[in-house]
Structure 1
Amino acid sequence: MPVWERSSTARVVPPARPRKLAKVPFVELADGRLQGVVSSGSDIGRVYVSSIAVGTYAFACSTNNNRPCGGARGTFCNHIRALVGEAVLQYGAERVARYLKAETPGGEPDAEALVSVMTGTRPEQGGTSAAAPVFSRFLRHLAYLELEPTTAPLPEMQWFPATRTAA
């Protein structure tokens, strides 16, 4: 059994590359989907919750109040394409491809290659939409940004891994 499995703390995987949070402020590989929150390109007050299912590439894209995306008609909309791009920046192309079970031909995959492979299989629109729980997690993350800096422990964050300092 690896040491990290016997530990009471979780491994923190640093981002593959730094990313800008303005367009896609939240992205995660969870619940059998690549999912996240994507800002609207036309309305600063609107966000979309987009997701792609592992293996089938069934996709869903809707506003945070469950109105369907007008661009997701039979193929990936720009929100889903942006989500894939940011996931590649956050987790690395190989990890995203492995998670989604998307085999790209030859060499190192990138966001365009992943989108091409997934759309080439004619994914189903209307995959299981997880808009409410994904958006809820996003809002919870935002709430932590509003807290005043403190060294006092936050009970709801006790599960976060502790950072080690050199002795």
Structure 2
Amino acid sequence: MVAPARPRKLAKVPFVELADGRLQGVVSSGSDIERVYVSSVEAGTYAFACSTNNNRPCGGARGSYCNHIRALVGEAVLQYGAERVARWLRVDTGDEEPTAAGVTAAMAATRPAQAEAKTAAPVFSRFLRHLAYLELTPDTVPLPEMQWFPQARAVA
């Protein structure tokens, strides 16, 4: 577990991850509290997808990055740091220190294609799984699904 580069607010982007060759996550709707969007950007090609958790396409992602994807990149930079996000997505920001705006601008300059939102279901499922951990009472008993994590050994 890597500590966040900077603290972030979870209301707008409650879930962000660098996984499966993409930057992906869940972004809250700005207009409907009951709606969330699952957004992703592929590393290298910068192909993007954005749809609701019910697989309805995002109206703002028509040929360019929507505000959900821009928010996702911004929160990923807060969570992981700009250099790590740029390295993960394989974005060349030139000689400048990477920023969220710089990473997004560099990706948008390549005129990325809109990808099919086929990754929405697994990403949303992982988000719901993370929410389930918040409902657990604090305990020191190991969780069976977490047993694969390496355990620290005591040094004698």
Alignment of 1:8-19 (within 5 A): 12-19=1-8
Once the two structures are superposed, residues 59-92 of structure 1 have per-residue CA deviations (whole angstroms, 9 ceiling, x without a partner) of 0000001000000010000000000000000111
User: Do the aligned partners of residues 115 and 164 (structure 1) sit closer, same or farther apart at CA in structure 2, a change above 3 Å counting?
Assistant: farther
Gaps (5+ residues) in structure 2?
none
4+ residue runs over 4 A deviation: 161-165
Aligned length, in residue pairs: 156
The AA in structure 1 aligned to 2:109 is: G
SS of match in other structure, 2:133: helix
SS of match in other structure, 1:27: strand
Deviation at 1:129, TM superposition (A): 3.1
Q: Does 1:32 align with 2:21?
A: yes
The AA in structure 1 aligned to 2:78 is: L
Distance 1:25 1:151 in 2: 25
Distance 1:148 1:161 in 2: 23
SS of match in other structure, 1:49: strand
Distance 2:33 2:27 in 1: 11
1:70 pairs with one of 59, 64, 73: 59
Deviation at 1:150, TM superposition (A): 1.7
Distance 2:63 2:77 in 1: 23
Distance 1:145 1:19 in 2: 17
- Counterpart of 2:35? 46
User: Do the aligned partners of residues 163 and 110 (structure 1) sit closer, same or farther apart at CA in structure 2, a change above 3 Å counting?
Assistant: farther
- Counterpart of 1:104? 93
Deviation at 1:161, TM superposition (A): 5.2
User: Do the aligned partners of residues 161 and 46 (structure 1) sit closer, same or farther apart at CA in structure 2, a change above 3 Å counting?
Assistant: farther
1:57 pairs with one of 37, 46, 52: 46
Contact 1:53 1:100 in 2 (8 A): yes
Gaps (5+ residues) in structure 1?
1-11
TM normalised by structure 1 equals 0.87
Distance 1:118 1:127 in 2: 18
Distance 2:72 2:150 in 1: 26
